[in-house]
Amino acid sequence: MEHLDVEKYDLFLFDLDDTLFDHSEAYKNGLVDTIHQFHSLLEIGHSEFIQTFTKHNHLLWPRFSSNELNFHEFSLIRIKNTLKELNVLAEKDISLKFVKTFQSSYLERISPYQKLNEFLFELSRRVGLGIVTNGTVLNAFEKVDRLGLGSIFPDTSVIVSEKFGLPKPNLEIFQHALNVFGSTADKTLFIGDNYFTDILGAKSLGLDTVWINRYEYECPQKEKPDYILRNVYDLKNAIEL
């Protein structure tokens, strides 16, 4: 990508999942770890279970994002619907145990990437840094901690949809982030992996954007990000620190 002039910006805002760490890999491995702890699931192929679980995750996500469901309700219904489709009979306490086990297994799969952390620390000496993520407050803070990024992204710099009340791509959550940091759209760069929630959401308020496009997808719509990277660490090569 072309050179990114850090001096243009007062603030870099990052998405969290699949931007600052490989959420998809942790999610998949966390599910596999969890399946191995339940005898009733061992006969189901990993791919079939993950595909079905992920489908119900996507189907329920709008109800969670709109605060119709809290995270516990979302998690419980997600596994219940998955087991129902897979014709697995399970008592309520098994569903609850699965929710707790998966949550723990997923988080345990998240670990620091030291080179990225060192780069972000150096970047933080030049520009303000923050996170805007869809999800729960508890999970967001735990992820940041497990990534070893707590000193770079203290709690006050992590904007979470659950706490704010609206998820990305609503422009209100981006405006809220600007207000928190005392920045303006023309002085803020947003870095995220999701074209619709991150790129279109940020651009709706006039922010410049970096699309973390690890699979080199074509842009789904006419709106183009200002920069495209395969990995967030590639920012290092685009910025002269």
pLDDT at 90: 74
- Bridge partners of 189? 12, 208
pLDDT, residue 42, reads 86
pLDDT above 70 as % of the chain: 99
> What SS3 state is found at 131?
strand
Spans in the chain with pLDDT lower than 70: 1, 240-241
| The pLDDT value given to residue 40 | 85
The answer to whether 183 and 206 have CB atoms below 8 angstroms apart is: no
> How high is the pLDDT of residue 1?
56
Give the pLDDT confidence score for residue 36 in this predicted structure. Answer: 94
pLDDT confidence of residue 241: 54
Q: Give the bridge partners for 212, in sequence order.
A: 229
User: What is the torsion angle, in degrees rounded to the nearest 10, for the CA atoms of residue 17, residue 21, residue 24 and residue 29?
Assistant: -130
* Cα(59)–Cα(192) distance, integer angstroms: 22
Exposure of 160 by Cβ count < 10 A (0-12 exposed, 13-18 middle, 19+ buried)?
A: buried
Task: Assess contact for 180 and 159: CB atoms under 8 A.
Answer: yes
pTM for this prediction? 0.94
Domain ranges of the chain: 6-21+111-238, 25-108
The pLDDT value given to residue 187: 98
Helix (H/G/I), strand (E/B), else coil: 96: helix
Summarize pLDDT for 170-212 with one digit per residue, the tens.
Answer: 999 999 999 999 999 999 999 999 999 999 999 999 999 999 9
Neighbours of 31 (CB within 10 A): 20
CB 55 within 8 A of CB 61: no
Instruction: Work out whether the CA dihedral 211, 19, 53, 39 comes out positive or negative.
Output: positive
Round to whole Å and give the CA distance between 234 and 218: 19
In CATH terms, 6-21+111-238 corresponds, of 3.40.50.300, 3.40.50.1000, 3.40.50.1970, 3.40.50.2300, to 3.40.50.1000
Predicted pLDDT at 92? 72
